[in-house]
Amino acid sequence: MYVVKMRGGYLCANGGPTKHLKFATRFDTRKKAEELAEKWLRSDINYKVVDLESEMMASK
């Protein structure tokens, strides 16, 4: 599973970023995450697709 990390939090399909991983939108593949991030986010927003498990370990 992957999440889209950006400044201020993680991508949440319910509207805007969230600082909490449990509310972030999860993607099955890195490609899906990148495609939807490009579609949903403005071009001036920098983001990074990260592995959910490694991100959860890093946040502890």
Render each residue's pLDDT in the chain as its tens digit; 60 residues. Answer: 999 999 889 999 877 788 888 899 999 999 999 999 999 888 888 999 999 999 888 876
Cα dihedral 17, 22, 23, 24 sign: positive
Residues 6+ apart with CB under 8 A from 55: 3, 5, 21
Q: Residue 47's Cα: distance from chain center in Å?
A: 8
| CB-based contact 2:30 (threshold 8 Å) | yes
| Contact criterion met (CB below 8 Å) for 25 and 4 | yes
pTM metric for this prediction: 0.84
